[in-house]
């Protein structure tokens, strides 16, 4: 069995308002797109065509695209963005675009994929699946792979639930994320220098849905918030757990000699709130909560004479 | 630019001691393997050839293959295994093998890949890269993709560090994990039913290293323990933070009316240790620590008359 990925050269630089389908179809010759193919395009050019290139402060745009913080370390800010995607910098990118500009992800990448599929059907008369890709890091592995952030007319998860192998075992792996595998396969032919923003994958017509059925889209690949065991970085999880308790609001009810620590909390979006008196039971309880928050940030509390009035912190010594 | 994946039919069932290279080369015709190709093979058949099919209790084998627990929910146990891979069930699998047996991952998949590369060079006279794959879930996305757990003669990470795009921007994505993308691409042609355990990827000869240079192997794709923001599930991170504090050893110093909660802790590898008196400062402090551990497991402490002697828990009411 064979699968082929072909990424044409010659797609022009795309600008806001351009007819993206026309630009891609010009680069793809008549034989390059057939029934059952999957047309894959980077979110970058979709965003450019849809006018999602913006000027201004990158950090402010990351804020705007962020639903909530997931993890923070050094300059790396991993967030769950408004699409539900967990990505560094919310998917806001400053490569392959004019200097000083940044590219935001498409407003609705599944809708972008549906529009592209419809345009291909109308202009070429072929039934294809469409995938819109972006590049993402992984929790436990170095480097990045391309994933599907939009899809139309494609079975994004291949279901083996209930299927048995030749030995009669029910298959433990029940759902290969084929849309993500397609995105990764295509990246191998596209490269990262922006010159080949689209590709055609041929050989898995079984995954392409009939005309009129756009399928669930790539949104179906996003694990629901709350169903996720890794919804927070390890440190941020500790902060969340503490922040959920009233006592957690108390560490900064008394003088704190830890400017760096407070700044770290502020960067993490955890405000150093003054405690209401009712939240404070005993100095020791407050210190216990403060210790755990501090531990999550690589600090520990220093013993002082009066736990009620004097909380001090120092970096954890290994 | 084109990349092609071809997965031959006709690889026989592999048994312990079989000459895997011979079996694969028989299925691959003379033109199917050329200089610059990447030969990709599932860890399943590598393990079978290397005698890593074992009988006995699957859970006990998962224990044996586990370096440490990462996250636990319901029947799903995600661990960092002895290879450093973060995977459900430590990569121990019971599919595509005789019922009652389980397949362990190869002892050293990078070494397996190197042996296969050497055998191909010797018997076919061609210089290929080799990837050994397995199937893994992801932190934030539904479904599974194939990843590279072994590699030889391949640049596993393509480095763009310092490269600039056509606009003069330094590329933010500095290292596509091409070995993982190759594994994913190949899965599309192999399928999950075990009949096509190998495939050849053609078109990225630039990633294949010269004869004699096996490269860093797929081990280079594993993020170092400790460099990882997601080394624990959110709940387990809280447990770890609390367990690092002396006070955390105290929650079970007094009677606990929460069998399910204690059992959950035990399954997570957190023993319900009796506290040494010196660890206990006040009942309220103990309760504060216990509350946070409990919160991490979806429990909360119920208010009782005497915090010093009577800690009770109930499931958190949403």
B254 — pLDDT class (breaks 50, 70, 90): very low
Q: Are residues B258 and B206 in the same domain?
A: no
* CA dist., res. B195 & res. B10, Å (int): 8
DSSP notation for B101-114: EEEPPPS-HHHHHH
Instruction: State the DSSP H helix or E strand holding residue B296, giving kind and residue range, or none if neither.
Output: helix B283-296
Does residue B159 belong to any structural domain of this protein?
Answer: yes
DSSP notation for B87-137: EEGGG-B-SSS-TTEEEPPPS-HHHHHHHHHHHHHHHH----EEEEEEEEE
pLDDT in single tens digits along all 318 residues of chain A: 999 999 999 999 999 999 999 999 999 988 899 999 999 999 999 999 999 999 988 889 999 999 888 887 667 789 999 999 999 999 998 877 888 899 999 999 999 999 999 999 999 999 999 999 999 999 999 999 999 999 999 999 988 777 777 777 776 657 999 999 999 999 999 977 768 999 999 999 999 999 999 999 999 999 987 677 888 777 666 665 554 433 333 333 332 333 444 444 443 333 333 222 223 334 444 454 455 555 544 555 555 554 444 455 555 544
* CA dist., res. B296 & res. A223, Å (int): 20
Mark out the alpha helices in chain A (DSSP H runs): 20-27, 43-49, 58-65, 109-124, 178-190, 234-243, 259-267, 283-296
Kindly report the pTM of this predicted structure. Answer: 0.80
Residues of A in contact with B282 (CB under 8 A): 282, 284-285
* CA dist., res. B80 & res. A52, Å (int): 40
Q: Are residues A167 and A280 in the same domain?
A: no
CA A175, A176, A179: angle at the middle one, nearest 5? 120
Across the interface, whether the CB atoms of B3 and A5 are under 8 A apart is answered yes
Does residue B61 belong to any structural domain of this protein?
Answer: no
Across the interface, whether the CB atoms of B96 and A167 are under 8 A apart is answered yes
- Residue where the block lists tokens 């918030």: A225
Q: Are residues B123 and B25 in the same domain?
A: yes
* CA dist., res. A222 & res. B140, Å (int): 7
Answer left, alpha or beta for residue A162, where phi above 0 means left and psi between -120 and 50 means alpha. left
Q: Are residues B128 and B215 in the same domain?
A: yes
Residues of B in contact with A155 (CB under 8 A): none
Instruction: State the DSSP H helix or E strand holding residue B25, giving kind and residue range, or none if neither.
Output: helix B20-27
* CA dist., res. A48 & res. A16, Å (int): 5
Q: Are residues A278 and A217 in the same domain?
A: no
Q: Are residues A37 and A119 in the same domain?
A: yes
Last residue of a domain, one of A200, A221, A242: A221
Q: How many domains does one find in chain B?
A: 2
Distance from CA of A87 to the nearest CA of B (A): 10
Answer left, alpha or beta for residue B273, where phi above 0 means left and psi between -120 and 50 means alpha. beta
pLDDT, residue B15, reads 95
Q: Are residues B204 and B130 in the same domain?
A: yes
pLDDT, residue A271, reads 33
- Rounded to 5 degrees, what are φ and ψ at B210? -65, 160
CATH number at residue A20: 3.30.1330.100
Domain membership of residue A284 as a residue range = 254-315
Q: Are residues A132 and A24 in the same domain?
A: yes
Q: Kindly calculate the radius of gyration of chain B based on its CA atoms and give it in whole angstroms.
A: 25
- Residue where the block lists tokens 């991952």: B105
* CA dist., res. B116 & res. B126, Å (int): 12
Q: Are residues B36 and B144 in the same domain?
A: yes
pLDDT, residue B293, reads 52
* pLDDT tens digits for range B121-177: 999 999 999 999 999 999 999 999 999 999 999 999 988 777 777 777 776 657 999
> DSSP secondary-structure letter at B68?
E
Q: Are residues B210 and B129 in the same domain?
A: yes
Residues of A in contact with B135 (CB under 8 A): 173, 176
What is the average per-residue pLDDT within B28-47?
95
Distance from CA of A23 to the nearest CA of B (A): 18
* CA dist., res. A201 & res. A178, Å (int): 12
Edge to edge, the sheet with strand B256-257 lists B256-257, B311-315, B299-302
Distance from CA of B112 to the nearest CA of A (A): 21
Q: Are residues B198 and B291 in the same domain?
A: no
Last residue of a domain, one of A196, A221, A246: A221
Does residue B133 belong to any structural domain of this protein?
Answer: yes
pLDDT, residue B295, reads 52
**What are residue A245's DSSP bridge partners?**
none
What is the average per-residue pLDDT within B307-318?
48
Does residue B228 belong to any structural domain of this protein?
Answer: no
What is the average per-residue pLDDT within B44-48?
96
Residues whose CB falls within 8 Å of the CB of residue B282, separated by 6 or more in sequence, listed in order: A282, A284, A285, B307, B308
Last residue of a domain, one of B175, B204, B221: B221
Q: Which residue has the higher pLDDT, A164 or B202?
A: B202
Answer left, alpha or beta for residue A20, where phi above 0 means left and psi between -120 and 50 means alpha. alpha
Across the interface, whether the CB atoms of A240 and B232 are under 8 A apart is answered no
* A108 and A148 Cβ atoms separated by less than 8 Å: no
The number of beta carbons lying within 10 Å of the beta carbon of residue B223 is 19
B228 — pLDDT class (breaks 50, 70, 90): confident
Q: Are residues B202 and B258 in the same domain?
A: no
- Rounded to 5 degrees, what are φ and ψ at B295? -55, -40
Across the interface, whether the CB atoms of A173 and B144 are under 8 A apart is answered yes
How much is the mean pLDDT over chain B?
Answer: 79
Residues whose CB falls within 8 Å of the CB of residue B34, separated by 6 or more in sequence, listed in order: B126, B202
B88 — pLDDT class (breaks 50, 70, 90): very high
Measured in whole angstroms, how far is the alpha carbon of residue A159 from the centre of its chain? Answer: 23
Distance from CA of A158 to the nearest CA of B (A): 9
């Amino acid at each position: 069995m064979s699968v082929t990925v072909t990424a044409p050269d010659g797609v022009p630089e795309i600008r806001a308002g351009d007819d993206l389908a026309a630009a891609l179809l010009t680069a793809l010759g008549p034989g390059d797109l057939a029934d059952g193919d999957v047309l894959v395009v980077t979110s970058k050019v979709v965003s450019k065509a849809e006018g999602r290139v913006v000027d201004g402060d990158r950090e402010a745009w990351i804020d705007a695209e962020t639903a909530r913080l997931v993890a923070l370390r050094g300059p790396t800010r991993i967030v769950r963005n408004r699409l539900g995607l967990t990505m560094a910098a919310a998917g806001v990118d400053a490569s392959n675009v004019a200097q000083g500009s940044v590219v935001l992800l498409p407003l609705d990448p599944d809708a972008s994929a549906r529009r592209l599929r419809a345009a291909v059907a109308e202009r070429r008369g072929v039934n294809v699946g469409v995938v819109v890709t972006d590049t993402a890091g992984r929790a436990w592995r170095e480097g990045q792979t391309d994933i599907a952030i939009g899809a139309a007319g494609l079975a994004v998860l291949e279901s083996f639930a209930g299927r048995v192998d030749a030995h009669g075992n029910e298959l433990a792996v029940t759902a290969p994320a084929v849309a993500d595998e397609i995105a990764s396969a295509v990246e191998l032919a596209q490269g990262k220098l922006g010159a080949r923003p689209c590709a055609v994958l041929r050989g898995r017509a079984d995954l392409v849905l009939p005309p009129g059925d756009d399928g669930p889209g790539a949104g179906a690949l996003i694990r629901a918030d709350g169903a996720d065991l890794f919804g927070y970085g390890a440190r941020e999880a500790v902060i969340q757990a503490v922040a959920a308790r009233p006592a957690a609001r108390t560490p900064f009810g008394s003088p704190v000699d830890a400017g760096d620590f407070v700044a770290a909390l502020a960067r993490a979006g955890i405000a150093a709130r003054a405690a209401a008196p009712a939240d404070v039971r005993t100095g020791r309880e407050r210190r216990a909560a403060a210790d755990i928050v501090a531990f999550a940030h690589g600090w520990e509390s220093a013993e002082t004479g009066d736990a009620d009035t004097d909380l001090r912190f120092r970096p954890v010594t290994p």
